[in-house]
Amino acid sequence: MLDEEVSVNGQPAVADGLRKQVRAFIAEHDPATTGRLEFIRARFDAGLAWVHYPAGLGGQGLPRTLQKVVDAEFAAAGAPTNRPERNGIGLGMAAPTILAYGSDEQKKRWLLPLWTGEEIWCQLFSEPGAGSDLANLATRAVRDGDRWIVNGQKVWTSSAHIASRAILVTRSDPDLPKHKGLTYFGVDMTSPGVEIRPLRQATGEAEFNEVFLTDVAIPDSDRIGQVGQGWQVSTATLMNERVALGAFQLPREGGMIGFSAATWRNHPEQRTHGLHDRLLRLWVGAEVSRLAGERLRQQLAAGQPGPEGSGAKLVYARLNQEIADFQVELLGADGLRYSDWTMHRPDGADFYGRDAGYRFLRSKGNSIEGGTSEILRNIVAERVLGLPPEIRLDKDKPWKDLPR
């Protein structure tokens, strides 16, 4: 495994020590006879959950890159996992935010069940009136003694229907400029007044939800960061959004292009010269983007995606769309058919599943979700290339006076 070799480079002794710890842990907690939950709770308590987290919170304060050593050791022993794929937002976005801005009490209360998957988290950020312009959000939080009363509507919330808690950003002071009057919470999704409705998308299914908040009472002890610090905390959350940088390296033809290459090889009758040229261009694009992703991973051996990740996401979205578009055309008559328009509510996102028509439609979301391609180009231009920021008319006026 290249990842492992890169990551333990320079710390072979620490890596060895970790391997020994895992083996000792497994000797004490036989996966065959220990219950799944008991096992993973004990793993958290042993500091082997996420080694880069502090001691007492599931980690040992080690470099993040060493996590792979631990995971590999547990996997080799056939140990049960914390099913991280079910709690991507919790693990990837909520947890680092809680770690950076949460109180000691919140860290103790939230991080264990979050890591074990006993509490799935979702994200209440986007609103109908606040997409790319997140800081324009209008969900109001009004202080009422030692609690807050929240009213508003959130949208594009994946996993809301299975989540027990959410990271939520609200407007606590409309008289301040937009970035200054925000406050951030970790809200209990079972609170009265939280209503979840599926949001049906172009593919026919509902991968996301709308969440309506009506007089939801949130205890002040669930506030993350200071009152008015919500924008800063949200920025920390979004910095952790894993932009198109998969955790592992795909093989050649491992993504969307694999379907087209296979169809091309198996169906000579579908080939034309025009499609051949397109296929080769797309194949080159896909393979080069795979190499560029791996090169970026090699550069960021520490694993913290910077603004450079925005470039990878731009390429990924464009290629997914172009390849999926190519594929329905290559299929010809079958491109005119669709598997199923019935509304389902899948547990997670699936870019590659189902049929070509589904992939064609689902890929249209790739250049919108996780930052539109236009916003990402601004990010590259401003943060990577140092070009001047957009001229802003909304930064210093009270939020309530902005046109909308």
Partner 1 sequence: MTQQAEKAEPGAVTAAPGAAGGAGARLPDMTYTEQETELRAAVRSVLEEKAQAAAVLARTETPQTYDTALWRTLAAEVGCAGLLIPESYGGAGASFREAAVVAEEIGRSVAPVPFIGSAVLATVALLEAGDAELLTKLAPGTTTAALAVPFESVPGARPAPSVRVGPAGDGDPAGTYRLSGTVSGVADALPADVLLVAADGVPVGLYAVAAGGTGVSKTPVVSLDMTRQLCDITLSNAAARRLVGGAAAQEVLARALRAGAGMLAAEQVGLAERALDITLAYAKQRYQFARPVGSFQALKHRFADWWVAVTQARAASRYAAACLASGDPDVDVAVALAKAVCSDTVVLAGQEMIQLHGGIGFTWEHPAHLYLKRAKSSALALGTADRHRASLADLVDLPPPPR
Nearest partner of 283 among 307, 311, 245, 253, judged by Cα = 253
Residues 6+ apart with CB under 8 A from 354: 339, 340
What does the alpha-carbon distance between residue 60 and residue 264 come to, in Å, rounded to a whole number? 50
Specify the amino acid at residue 341. W
The answer to whether the beta carbons of residues 316 and 244 sit under 8 Å apart is: yes
* 147 vs 377 by CB, closer to partner 1: 377
Least separation in angstroms between residue 321's CB and partner 1 is 15
What does the alpha-carbon distance between residue 123 and residue 107 come to, in Å, rounded to a whole number? 18
3-state helix, strand, coil in the chain (%, to 5): 50, 15, 40
241: annotated active-site residue = yes
DSSP 393: S
Specify the amino acid at residue 251. P
Q: Which two tokens stand for residue 75?
A: 């996997």
DSSP bridge pairs for 398: 177
Least separation in angstroms between residue 318's CB and partner 1 is 9
* Catalytic annotation, pick one of 4, 73, 119, 241: 241
What long-range pairs does 74-77 form, CB within 8 A, spacing at least 24?
Answer: 74/22, 74/26, 74/43, 74/48, 77/22, 77/23, 77/26, 77/31
Residues 6+ apart with CB under 8 A from 223: 148, 183, 184, 185
Q: Which two tokens stand for residue 233?
A: 């905390």
Which residues of the shown chain bind partner 1 in the complex (CB under 8 A)?
1-2, 249, 251-255, 258-268, 270-273, 276-277, 279-281, 283-285, 287-289, 291-292, 294-296, 298-299, 308, 311, 314-315, 331-334, 337, 339, 352, 355-356, 374, 376-378, 380-382, 384-391
For residue 184, the SS3 value is: strand
DSSP bridge pairs for 182: 171
Least separation in angstroms between residue 351's CB and partner 1 is 10
Return the ∠ at Cα 105 (arms to 99 and 106), rounded to 5°.
50
**Residues with catalytic roles:** 241
